[in-house]
Every structure is written in structure tokens, then in C-alpha cells.
């Protein structure tokens, strides 16, 4: 926090007030939960995922921020169609994703919008998808409607697309999974 204030003071003294204000703006925390279903690959049949994440944003300007999202609980319910009679498997993973976000919440309004996207790393405690690997990359894109609750909290509702893939780094087999999820979140302090 002290470094942020020193950098903000330097920019302010140099006449770059907008950047100084952005650096001095409060950081924002988020708790995010999602649940969704996979759209690919066909070998997975019906796969679904649920996540619980915590994120912190660092302002880059009046509407942009760079954040880091940590997902300590990424649960995938998956199966292999090519193995008849095999029961569904529940696989667990963790992920860390840097996120670039655009947030718009007018001061006079209770409602706002947020668009965010990022790419990070993903580690499964068993292969995800079942034909894949434990180490994967994760990319996500999220669109949210924000609702102001009180003076410094926002509730968010939206849709998230997540793609998990090892990019072929774990061998020639790179099945990947894409999930489309509903998202609910809570943010504080609100901008």
C-alpha cells in the first residue's frame, strides 16, 4: 500500500492526475461462484463444472483494472463415452488467472456492467478431461450485470465461458473442455 501511495504521489506531482487518482483508488475484492455445462468434446458426453473463486483487482484507470483470480475449488463431473458402463468421475482442480476487466457503474445508478477476460494455469488432481492431462491452461471471458447493495458492495450476475486445454504440451492428445456457466459474485468496496 505504501508503494502505491508513493507512485501516486510522484505521478500527481508530475501533473498526471488521472493516473495518480487511478493508482490511489481502492482495490476491489470479489468472491465468485459459478456452475455450468461443457460444450465439448463429444467424448465427455455430459460434463459439468462448479467453481468458487476469490479475486483482487488493482485499478489501471477510471474503468479498467488488472486482477488476479484464485480458484481453490474447481470441480468437474465428467465421464468417457468410449468406456461403456464406466461411472461418472468427479475431478478437482485449482487455477490462477490474471484478469483484465472493464467496469462501468455510474455513481447515480444502482446498476452497472463488467466485462473481463484472462488466461492462466490450471492443475487437476486427476486428468481433466479424462483423456487429457493434469496440467492445463485456462482461458475465461465473463459478462456481468452489477447491482449496488449498500454504499460499498456490488452483487454480480452473469455468464462465463471457460476453456481448459493443455495446448498439446502433454503429448499429441489435447481434448480440452469448454464450459458455459452462470456466475454469481459479491464485490467490495464498490467504485
- The domain limits of the chain are 26-188
In terms of C-beta density within 10 A (0-12 exposed, 13-18 middle, 19 or more buried), how is residue 138 classed?
Answer: buried
Q: What is the mean pLDDT of residues 147-166?
A: 92
Higher-confidence position of 30 and 16: 30
Which CATH number is associated with domain 26-188? 2.40.160.20
Of 154, 153, 173, 174, give the one whose Cα is nearest residue 164.
Answer: 174
- pLDDT number for residue 88: 76
Confidence band of 150 (pLDDT split at 50, 70, 90): confident
Model pLDDT for residues 100-139, shown as the tens digit of each residue: 999 998 888 899 999 999 999 999 999 888 778 899 999 9
Virtual CA dihedral for 124, 128, 130, 131, nearest 10 degrees? -110
For the chain, give percent helix, strand, coil, nearest 5: 10, 60, 25
The answer, as to whether pTM is greater than 0.85, is: no
Amino acid at each position: 500500500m505504501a508503494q502505491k501511495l508513493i507512485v501516486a504521489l510522484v505521478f500527481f506531482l508530475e501533473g498526471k492526475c488521472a493516473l495518480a487518482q487511478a493508482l490511489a483508488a481502492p482495490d476491489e475484492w470479489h468472491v465468485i461462484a459459478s456452475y455450468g455445462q461443457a460444450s465439448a468434446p463429444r467424448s465427455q458426453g455430459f460434463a459439468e463444472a462448479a467453481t468458487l473463486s476469490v479475486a483482487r483487482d488493482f485499478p489501471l484507470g477510471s474503468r479498467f483494472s488488472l486482477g488476479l483470480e484464485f480458484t481453490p475449488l474447481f470441480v468437474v463431473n465428467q465421464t468417457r463415452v468410449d468406456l461403456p458402463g464406466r461411472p461418472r468421475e468427479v475431478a478437482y482442480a485449482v487455477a490462477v488467472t490474471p484478469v483484465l476487466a472493464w467496469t462501468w457503474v455510474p455513481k447515480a445508478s444502482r446498476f452497472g456492467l463488467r466485462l473481463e477476460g484472462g488466461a492462466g494455469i490450471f492443475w487437476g488432481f486427476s486428468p481433466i478431461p479424462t483423456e487429457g492431462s493434469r496440467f492445463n491452461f485456462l482461458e475465461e471471458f465473463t459478462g456481468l450485470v452489477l447491482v449496488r447493495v449498500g454504499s460499498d458492495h456490488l452483487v454480480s450476475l452473469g455468464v462465463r465461458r471457460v476453456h481448459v486445454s493443455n495446448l498439446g504440451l502433454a503429448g499429441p492428445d489435447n481434448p480440452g473442455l469448454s464450459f458455459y456457466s452462470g456466475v454469481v459474485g459479491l464485490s467490495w468496496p464498490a467504485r
